[in-house]
């Protein structure tokens, strides 16, 4: 399959949506209809790209020639970006449904600004997914940071402003100080910034410099939340829950690990990393974050904060997959982008539903809540099991491949890390729904009567929970989509 | 356009505003004088665009003033760099004056508007003259024309602080001009010529003589004073902060840039790359000053309550970027420095114009008063935020293009530390820009901000044109970075 593919539509559709949402701000029903229509349109377009990728084509679009020296903004479709675009655009629709229930149920202010920024963020996420070179990726990475700032500071309270400042501060600092430097350095070393199979840096510099460059890339991508640049993620939890759900479980954080994955596969190249061994330290850094993130999560009583630290831990699975730099690792890590997205967004949806329906944010207050919110709590359990990696849920496959990758690389230690992490996940996630169903409220009062969240919310979280199960059976298709990443 | 007229373009570039200036005094009536001056500025801009077109097509234009041949008569010489500077100076002059009427009504008594126009046109004349002339003494003359008129323009500021600010600028500016004059005098004494090309040929014979070194020193310090290179910048913050809004916008966008142009001309075209940088190590002297300027001024900017003053300190820092680019003395570095002349002119001009809108409605540029202003003046503050992003150097704004070149230049020379410092400095910019953005958009409105209205379209449109241009030139760089690359190569090649 060849010919021109108008990839830029993936940017134009959400952007046009943002403009229309702003114009129709006065009529909430029309505004929300525009959001949903845009979401459906975008997903339809992204899905229509799938046959190209499966046929092995990598169509590209030159957006603009930026500098006379050959630097340009380019979009190019490839398997990893395809997966990320599908996940982000698909979950956007679900999140929009959920937002309608949440924002109205909660009577939030500035809803038009909220939906506009949301659409712009999705546009930026699409740009990250389809970026054809590092500069384009960097551009949309920054747009994503800036467009999500108003979402994080949405409540406008002192606490929200502080959290948003931490968010912006860490993300921009790392990206400007490290990532941009890495991009510029790559340009000087390789003379190109294009993503190419097999990488562009092989033979361009000594190992020491490549090692430094990899470190700059990894810590410059603050969105991947590798410790110690993870602090922005818990800080961002001051945002309304739909934001935490889509952006801080899917779009923003996945844009981070996606960047690292792209850099490893298309800038360094797997061969370069395995022959020089410059990514070994990254395995240890990721392994540390996996364990430490889980341990910190256990100590959190605020549900959203616990989920945030759980995300920190889970993101490093993907970084670990990239650092292993073999086919299993890369496929497992990339697959985890999708699997973790469905699992974690379900958990966040549940957290938001509990907040809207029962006004509870602390885990210790949630005992006995299962009677009142059985659907939500059941979905929570499914999401939790998927994050843990229990069959028949999607998360089990990505962990399986990651473990294979670790064995393949001869790093038995990291198989152990994955197992220990799963145990920790069980320890901090499973008790929440279990106690909700089988314990009585802590203050000894009667369990509350049935009172679920708004229908939009419940529908959304049921859908993503079912998605976790469906993905288990679709793993083979995802695998076939991703396996070209391993080289060949 | 007829051949004859086209041949006269270089002199028209200067003569049109020069002759129009006294005409303003004759016209005198406010309703006549402002449209007249604005028309003149646009005409000047048109001339510069034609000149740039000619230069890009046919190479350097040399014009003999009054028909006197070069070493004896005054030569006007337009190369890519000069044409580039002419275009953005005259363009911004025209745009700022188009924006000016409402702001002037508010800030300067109507009876003095004709004086404002006269001074403004003289200042434009001086700045354009500096860029176009190929004669050393002529540079000094035009420098004084622009400087004297800008002292007076700043003194027109309504507040009392404007007078000491203008006086301080006068003292410092005069010292700088005197140094430059001494330098030029010594060089004339050595070579017996004032024509730049001629002098560039004769200098190598006398380069070792101490007089040449002394001349070089006087010139460097004099120009550094004029362009507010740290630590010789002290005149700048008050001058920009207390001048009328229109004047701040125009001078901040153009005056220091033209001084940087003089530095480029003297150090590369006259003394030559080899003498200035390889023998005397000018780069090693400029680089630490540039970096120190960037960091000190950006840090000071963070603590300003007066937003115009903050922008002024930011200007000192941005001059550091330009000088840093020059100090590399490589094609990439120079391109970065030159393109930042242009990009920063757009950004800072636009930001000061947005501040003019704020001043009109709020009668204050204090950060506390601007709290919550994003609600009352969304278009103004959105424009401001856009310019702020340019200052930080966010991709897809003009500021990013400059920064990209500068980082490249640093990495090409393996000075990783400079590259890192450059990037860290943009974080300081992030802090001072974000302080304003956060205050304006996310804080509860102050009493004054609650009553404010959006600025009139007559002011908003030019502001948006300039700041829109920063996005345009952040994406389409053929006429900014492309021309700057040509100019840098020409400058590195030397004069003849």
- Comparing C-alpha atoms, which of A244, A242, A306, A303 is closest to residue A454? A242
| Domain identity same for A297 and A375 | yes
pLDDT value of position A352: 87
**Half-sphere exposure of residue B433: CA atoms within 13 angstroms, side-chain side:** 27
pLDDT tens column, A239-272: 888 888 877 778 889 999 999 999 998 998 888 8
What mean pLDDT comes out for the span A298-325?
A: 90
**From CA A194, how far away is CA A266, in angstroms rounded?**
8
pLDDT value of position A153: 84
* Tokens at A225, concatenated: 């939340």
Interface test with B, best of A184, A209, A219 (most B CBs within 10 A): A184
pLDDT value of position A319: 92
Interface test with A, best of B420, B442, B445, B485 (most A CBs within 10 A): B442
Has residue A190 been placed in a domain? no
Has residue A188 been placed in a domain? no
Tell me how far CA of residue B222 lies from CA of A185, B151, B184, B200, B297, in angstroms.
36, 17, 11, 20, 20
For residue A292, which phi and psi values (nearest 5 degrees)? -65, -40
Instruction: Say if CB A121 and CB A18 are below 8 A apart.
Output: no
What mean pLDDT comes out for the span A212-230?
A: 89
- Of all residues in chain A, what percent carry a pLDDT higher than 90? 17
Structurally, how many domains does chain A consist of? Answer: 2
Residue ranges of alpha helices (H) inside A24-133 are 28-54, 79-105, 111-130
Domain boundary among A240, A265, A290: A265
| Domain identity same for A257 and A392 | no
Q: A 427-486 residues with CB below 8 A of B?
A: none
State whether residue B3 is helix, strand or coil: helix
| Domain identity same for A61 and A132 | yes
Residue ranges of alpha helices (H) inside B209-330 are 210-226, 235-242, 245-264, 273, 282-302, 307-328
**Residues 6+ away with beta carbon under 8 Å from A191:** none
What residues of B are in contact with residue A146 (Cβ under 8 Å)?
389, 394
Q: How much of chain A is in helix, strand and coil states, percent to nearest 5? A: 75, 5, 20
* Tokens at B171, concatenated: 């003292």
Q: How far is A25 from chain B (nearest CA, A)?
A: 16
| Domain identity same for A344 and A467 | yes
pLDDT band at A1 (very low <50, low <70, confident <90, very high): very low
Average pLDDT, chain A: 86
pLDDT band at A488 (very low <50, low <70, confident <90, very high): very low
Q: Per the CB < 8 Å rule, is B395 touching A64?
A: no
**From CA A389, how far away is CA A404, in angstroms rounded?**
14
Question: Does residue A68 belong to the interface with chain B, where contact is any CB pair within 8 Å?
Answer: yes
pLDDT value of position A446: 67
pLDDT tens column, A120-153: 999 999 999 999 889 999 999 999 998 888 888 8
Domain that holds residue A296: 279-488
Burial A161-178 (b: 16+ CB within 10 A, else e): bebbbbbbbbbbbbbbbb
Question: Which of A55-69, A169-183, A267-281 is the least confident region?
Answer: A55-69
When comparing pLDDT for A405 and B479, which is higher? Answer: A405
| Domain identity same for A349 and A409 | yes
Residues in chain B: 496
| Residues in chain B with pLDDT values less than 50 | 496
Has residue A210 been placed in a domain? no
**Residues 6+ away with beta carbon under 8 Å from B478:** A68
pLDDT tens column, A5-28: 788 888 888 888 888 888 887 888
Has residue A184 been placed in a domain? no
| Domain identity same for A386 and A237 | no
| Domain identity same for A260 and A283 | no
| Domain identity same for A49 and A98 | yes
pLDDT value of position B463: 92
Has residue A146 been placed in a domain? yes
Instruction: Say if CB B282 and CB B264 are below 8 A apart.
Output: no
| Domain identity same for A237 and A309 | no
- Comparing C-alpha atoms, which of A176, A260, A170 is closest to residue A215? A260
When comparing pLDDT for A313 and A197, which is higher? Answer: A313
Q: Measured on CA atoms in the order B181, B185, B186, B187, is the torsion positive or negative?
A: positive
Has residue A209 been placed in a domain? no
| Domain identity same for A133 and A239 | yes
pTM reported for the whole predicted model: 0.88
**Residues 6+ away with beta carbon under 8 Å from A336:** A314, A317, A318, A321, A395, A398, A399, A402
pLDDT value of position A105: 74
| Domain identity same for A257 and A336 | no
Has residue A196 been placed in a domain? no
When comparing pLDDT for A418 and A5, which is higher? Answer: A418
pLDDT tens column, A376-401: 888 999 999 998 988 888 888 889 89
| Domain identity same for A236 and A303 | no
Q: Per the CB < 8 Å rule, is A184 touching B394?
A: no
Q: Where do the domains of chain B lie?
A: 284-496
What mean pLDDT comes out for the span A278-300?
A: 91
Has residue A176 been placed in a domain? no
């Amino acid at each position: 399959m060849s010919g021109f593919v108008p990839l830029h539509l993936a940017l134009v559709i959400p952007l046009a949506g943002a403009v229309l949402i702003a114009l129709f701000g006065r009529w909430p029903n029309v505004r929300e209809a525009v959001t949903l229509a845009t979401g459906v349109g975008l997903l339809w377009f992204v899905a229509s790209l799938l046959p190209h990728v499966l046929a092995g084509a990598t169509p590209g679009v030159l957006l603009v020639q930026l500098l006379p020296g050959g630097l340009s903004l380019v979009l190019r479709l490839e398997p990893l970006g395809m997966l990320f675009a599908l996940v982000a655009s698909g979950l956007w629709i679900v999140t929009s449904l959920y937002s309608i229930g949440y924002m109205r149920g909660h009577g939030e202010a500035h809803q038009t600004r909220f939906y506009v920024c949301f659409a712009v963020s999705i546009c930026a996420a699409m740009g990250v997914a389809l970026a054809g070179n590092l500069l384009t990726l960097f551009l949309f990475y920054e747009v994503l940071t800036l467009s999500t700032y108003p979402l994080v500071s949405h409540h406008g309270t002192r606490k929200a402003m502080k959290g948003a400042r931490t968010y912006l501060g860490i993300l921009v600092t790392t990206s400007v100080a490290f990532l941009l430097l890495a991009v510029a350095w790559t340009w000087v070393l390789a003379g190109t910034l294009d993503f190419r199979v097999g990488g562009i840096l092989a033979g361009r510099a000594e190992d020491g410099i490549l090692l430094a460059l990899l470190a700059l890339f990894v810590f410059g991508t603050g969105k991947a939340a590798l410790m110690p640049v993870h602090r922005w993620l818990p800080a961002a939890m001051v945002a309304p829950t739909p934001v935490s759900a889509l952006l801080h479980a899917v779009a923003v954080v996945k844009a981070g690990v996606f960047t690292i994955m792209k850099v490893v596969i298309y800038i360094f190249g797997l061969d370069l990393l395995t022959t020089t061994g410059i990514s070994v330290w990254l395995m240890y850094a990721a392994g540390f974050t996996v364990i430490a993130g889980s341990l910190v999560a256990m100590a959190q009583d605020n549900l959203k904060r616990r989920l945030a630290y759980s995300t920190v831990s889970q993101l490093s699975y993907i970084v670990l997959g990239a650092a292993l730099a073999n086919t299993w690792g890369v496929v497992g890590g990339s697959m985890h982008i999708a699997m973790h997205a469905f699992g974690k967004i379900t958990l966040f949806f549940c957290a938001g539903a509990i907040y809207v329906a029962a006004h509870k944010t602390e885990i210790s207050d949630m005992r006995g809540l299962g009677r009142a919110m059985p659907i939500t709590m059941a979905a929570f359990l499914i999401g939790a099991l998927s994050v843990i990696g229990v069959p028949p849920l999607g998360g089990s496959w990505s962990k399986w491949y990651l473990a294979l990758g670790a064995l393949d690389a001869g790093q038995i230690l990291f198989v152990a890390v994955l197992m220990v992490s799963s145990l920790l996940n069980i320890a901090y996630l499973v008790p929440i729904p279990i106690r909700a169903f089988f314990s009585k409220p802590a203050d000894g009062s009667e369990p509350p009567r049935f009172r679920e969240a708004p229908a939009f919310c419940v529908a959304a979280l049921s859908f993503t929970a079912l998605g976790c199960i469906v993905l288990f059976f679709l793993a083979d298709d995802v695998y076939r989509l991703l396996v070209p990443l391993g080289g060949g | 356009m007829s051949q004859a007229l086209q041949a006269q373009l270089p002199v028209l570039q200067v003569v049109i505003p020069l002759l129009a200036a006294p005409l303003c005094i004759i016209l005198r009536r406010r309703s006549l004088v402002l449209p007249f001056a604005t028309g003149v500025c646009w005409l000047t801009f048109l001339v510069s665009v034609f000149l740039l077109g000619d230069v890009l097509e046919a190479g350097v234009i040399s014009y003999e003033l009054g028909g006197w041949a070069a070493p004896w008569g005054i030569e006007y010489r337009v190369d890519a760099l000069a044409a580039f500077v002419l275009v953005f100076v005259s363009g911004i002059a025209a745009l700022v004056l188009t924006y000016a009427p409402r702001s002037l009504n508010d800030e300067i008594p109507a009876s003095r508007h004709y004086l404002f126009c006269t001074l403004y046109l003289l200042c434009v004349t001086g700045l354009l003259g500096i860029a176009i002339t190929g004669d050393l003494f002529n540079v000094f003359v035009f420098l004084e024309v622009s400087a004297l008129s800008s002292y007076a323009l700043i003194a027109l500021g309504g507040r009392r602080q404007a007078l000491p600010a203008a006086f301080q600028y006068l003292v410092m500016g005069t010292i700088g001009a005197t140094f430059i004059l001494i330098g030029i005098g010594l060089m004339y004494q050595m070579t017996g010529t004032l024509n730049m090309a001629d002098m560039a040929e004769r200098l190598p014979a006398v380069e070792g003589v101490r007089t040449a070194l002394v001349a070089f020193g006087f010139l460097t310090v004099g120009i550094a004073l004029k362009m507010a290179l740290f630590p010789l910048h002290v005149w700048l913050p008050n001058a920009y902060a207390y001048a009328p809004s229109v004047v701040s916008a125009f001078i901040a966008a153009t005056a220091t840039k033209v001084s940087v142009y003089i530095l480029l001309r003297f150090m590369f075209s006259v003394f030559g790359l080899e003498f200035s940088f390889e023998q005397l190590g000018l780069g090693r002297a400029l680089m630490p000053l540039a970096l120190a300027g960037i960091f000190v001024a950006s840090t000071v900017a963070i603590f300003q309550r007066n937003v115009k003053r903050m922008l002024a300190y930011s200007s000192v820092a941005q001059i550091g970027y330009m000088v840093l680019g020059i100090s590399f003395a490589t094609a990439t570095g120079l391109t970065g420095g030159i393109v930042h002349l242009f990009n920063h002119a757009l950004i800072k001009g636009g930001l000061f114009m947005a501040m003019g809108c704020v001043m009109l409605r709020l009668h204050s540029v204090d950060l506390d008063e601007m709290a919550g202003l994003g609600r009352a003046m969304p278009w103004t503050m959105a424009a401001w935020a856009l310019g702020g992003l340019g200052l930080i150097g966010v991709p897809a704004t003009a500021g990013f293009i400059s920064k990209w070149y500068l980082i490249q230049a640093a990495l090409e020379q393996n000075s990783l530390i400079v590259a890192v410092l450059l990037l860290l400095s943009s974080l300081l910019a992030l802090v001072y820009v974000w302080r304003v953005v956060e205050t304006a958009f996310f804080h509860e409105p102050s009493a004054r901000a609650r009553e404010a209205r959006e600025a009139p379209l007559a002011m908003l449109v030019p502001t948006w044109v300039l700041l829109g241009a920063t996005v345009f030139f952040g994406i389409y760089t053929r006429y900014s970075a492309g021309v700057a690359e040509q100019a840098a190569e020409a400058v590195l090649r030397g004069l003849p």
